């Protein structure tokens, strides 16, 4: 069996603080409940501006040390196939790689609709990624009119053939193909499981023609389009479907957790040899207590109760007046002190929690939670000092500007 993968595409949603809160919550939920198999990958695709913060959080938090998932992939949502150059507004694969982001979605329908890349452009992206030791989540899918004309399979196979042209056979495992019918993205319901299976089978046959049987059997092909925590299980239970690419339902950490946990349950049940030791433990635990396990989702409530993030654009919405010459510097200073305070609070709540946990003989679990809090505090501290510096710079520039606006005293009275 191929490793299943659950990919969350956050699109243009979540600011940095929301992204980190999400990861903290997910980490806690997974640590409390343990996924029931090692044979599962999780991936999340935040916006460009949150990628590094997410990656840093995961590296510092000792991500998933106690549950079975040793890794979560942080993926970009798109990338440019040139290493650098005059491409305003773009981010290159090489810039992502430099930041430790080794995966990118390419060819997502929303990018195709906005930027109209050709299949050749998408092929260049896939080659840039795979030739540089990176991974591509390649999205293909048929629009409604193609489906209505019963041309879906040839349309999709043509996309696949063109998009992976020239990918070395050794690099093929670094490509995940996501079949996403355009008319299923952002809708109420996914297309039927049987239809997805039939298309995936055709794609696999195409890979066999282009490469060989082993390559066809090992490449992962996932489905995306209107998957949620109420409908995912039929798709993920299918042997043909190696995972899911989820948009809206990945934005809510509880839904993403439910889908990840449920998938681990399905794998462990259907393939007992792939269940890990936690599966066995969990079954015993359930049998012994005959009670449902505590719901790890209570974290969501705690986090939601926290104060909403300040609006970073608030200063832009105010009309400048003569009394507010340093508006942008002041706004930056507010951010600096806000983040410094958050950091102090996080540090303060981390320490007593650890102490109390020790007394309750739960020190291991709590120390891991404290580590995540601390990691987030360190990330915030980094931000606080960055913003403090920005503010100093902004103040210095404002002062210089003010000084240069003053009349030159040596000229006063010379008229
Ligand atoms: P959706 O999005 O899950 O919200 O339908 C899927 C996608 O855009 O990949």
Output the CA 300–ligand 1 centroid distance in Å.
23
Is 108 designated active site?
yes
Q: Which atom of ligand 1 is nearest to the CA of 184?
A: 5
Handedness of CA 238, 243, 249, 253 (dihedral sign): positive
User: Is the predicted pLDDT of residue 172 greater than 60, yes or no?
Assistant: yes
Looking at the predicted structure, is the pLDDT value of residue 197 above 80? Answer: yes
Question: How many angstroms separate the alpha carbon of residue 244 from the centre of ligand 1?
Answer: 10
Task: Give the highest mean pLDDT range of 26-40, 265-279, 373-387.
Answer: 26-40
Residues of the chain with pLDDT > 70: what percent?
66
The pLDDT of residue 14 is above 60:
yes
Token look-up 């709590």 returns 366
* pLDDT above 70 for 53: yes
The active-site residue out of 108, 299, 368, 369 is: 108
Q: Ligand 1 centroid vs 250 CA: distance in angstroms? A: 9
The predicted pLDDT at position 324 comes to: 39
CB of 105 closer than 6 angstroms to any ligand 1 atom: no
Protein residue whose Cα sits closest to atom 7 of ligand 1: 247
Q: Which atom of ligand 1 is nearest to the CA of 250?
A: 3
Q: Is the CB of 250 under 6 A from ligand 1?
A: no
Contact 171, 211 (CB under 8 A): no
Q: Which atom of ligand 1 is nearest to the CA of 245?
A: 9
Mean pLDDT, to the nearest integer, of 72-97? 97
139 lines ligand 1 (CB under 6 A): no
Binding site membership of 41 for ligand 1 (Cβ less than 6 Å) = no
Residue 100 reports pLDDT greater than 60: yes
**Which atom number of ligand 1 is nearest to the Cα of residue 180?**
9
Q: Is 180 a catalytic residue?
A: yes
CA of 224 to the centre of ligand 1 (A): 6
Any atom of ligand 1 within 6 Å of the Cβ of 101: no
Mean pLDDT over 390-411 rounds to 65
Q: Which of 219-223, 248-252, 320-324 has the lowest mean pLDDT?
A: 320-324
pLDDT at res. 272: 75
What's the whole-number mean pLDDT along residues 205-213?
A: 98
54 Cα: distance to centroid of ligand 1 (angstroms) = 21
Ligand 1, closest atom to CA 228?
3
Question: Rounded to an integer, what distance in angstroms lies between the CA atom of residue 106 and that of residue 161?
Answer: 15
Q: Return d(Cα 377, Cα 140) in angstroms, integer.
A: 40
- Position 306 confidence tier, pLDDT thresholds 50, 70, 90: very low
- Tell me what the pLDDT averaged over the chain comes to: 81
Mutate to test the pocket of ligand 1, among 106, 243, 247, 249 (most ligand atoms within 8 A of CB): 247
Residue 164 in this model has a pLDDT that exceeds 90 = yes
Q: Which of 18, 34, 39, 180 is catalytic?
A: 180
Ligand 1 in contact with 107 (CB < 6 A)?
A: no
Ligand 1 lined by 189 (C-beta under 6 Å): no
Q: pTM higher than 0.85 for the full model? A: no
Q: Is the CB of 274 under 6 A from ligand 1?
A: no
Q: Does residue 405 carry a pLDDT above 80?
A: no
Q: Whose CA is nearest to atom 2 of ligand 1?
A: 247
217 Cα: distance to centroid of ligand 1 (angstroms): 26
> Ligand 1 centre and the CA of 237: distance in Å?
19
Average pLDDT of span 242-254 = 97
- Is the pLDDT at 303 greater than 60, yes or no? no
Which pLDDT score, from 0 to 100, does residue 283 have?
A: 60
Q: Pairing relation of β-strands 243-246 and 103-106?
A: unpaired
**Does residue 153 surpass a pLDDT of 90?**
yes
State whether the beta carbon of 243 lies less than 6 angstroms from ligand 1. no
Does ligand 1 come within 6 angstroms of the Cβ of 245? yes
Instruction: State whether the beta carbon of 180 lies less than 6 angstroms from ligand 1.
Output: yes
Distance 58 CA to ligand 1 centre (A): 24
Q: Is the CB of 227 under 6 A from ligand 1?
A: yes
Q: Is the pLDDT of residue 314 over 50?
A: yes
Question: What is the chain's alpha carbon radius of gyration, rounded to the nearest angstrom?
Answer: 25
């Amino acid at each position: 069996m191929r490793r299943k993968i659950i990919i969350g595409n956050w699109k243009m949603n979540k600011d940095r603080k929301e992204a980190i809160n999400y990861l903290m919550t997910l980490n806690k939920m997974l640590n409390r409940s343990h996924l029931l198999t090692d044979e599962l990958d999780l991936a999340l695709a935040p916006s460009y501006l949150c990628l590094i913060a997410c990656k840093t959080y995961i590296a510092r938090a000792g991500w998933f040390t106690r549950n079975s998932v040793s890794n979560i992939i942080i993926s970009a949502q798109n990338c440019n196939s040139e290493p650098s150059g005059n491409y305003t507004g773009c981010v290159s694969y090489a810039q992502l790689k430099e930041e430790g982001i080794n995966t990118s979605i390419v060819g997502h329908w929303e990018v195709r609709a906005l930027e109209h890349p050709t299949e050749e452009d998408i092929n260049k992206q896939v080659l840039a990624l795979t030739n540089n030791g990176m991974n591509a989540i390649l999205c293909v899918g048929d629009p409604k009119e193609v489906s209505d004309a019963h041309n879906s399979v040839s349309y999709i196979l043509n996309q696949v053939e063109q998009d992976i042209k020239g990918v070395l056979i050794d690099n093929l495992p670094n490509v995940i193909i996501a079949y996403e019918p355009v008319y299923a993205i952002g809708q109420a319901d996914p297309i039927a499981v049987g239809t997805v299976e039939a298309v995936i089978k055709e794609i696999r046959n195409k890979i066999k023609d282009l490469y060989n049987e082993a390559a066809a059997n090992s490449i992962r092909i996932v489905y995306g389009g209107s998957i949620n925590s109420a409908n995912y299980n039929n798709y993920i239970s299918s042997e043909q479907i190696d995972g899911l690419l989820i948009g809206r339902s990945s934005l809510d950490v509880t839904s993403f957790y439910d889908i990840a946990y449920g998938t681990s349950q399905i794998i462990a049940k259907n393939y007992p040899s792939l269940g890990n030791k936690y599966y066995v433990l969990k079954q015993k635990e359930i049998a012994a207590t005959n009670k449902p396990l505590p719901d790890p989702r209570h974290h969501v409530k705690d986090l939601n109760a926290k104060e909403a993030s300040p609006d970073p654009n608030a200063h832009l919405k105010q009309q400048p007046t003569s009394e507010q010459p340093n508006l942008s510097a002041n706004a930056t200073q507010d951010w600096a002190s806000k983040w410094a305070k958050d950091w102090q609070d996080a540090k303060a709540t981390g320490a007593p929690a650890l102490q109390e946990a020790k007394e309750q003989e739960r020190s291991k679990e709590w120390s891991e939670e404290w580590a995540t809090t601390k990691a987030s505090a360190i990330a915030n501290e980094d931000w606080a000092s960055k913003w403090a510096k920005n503010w100093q710079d902004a103040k210095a520039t404002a002062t210089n500007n003010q000084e240069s606006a003053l009349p030159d005293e040596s000229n006063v009275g010379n008229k």
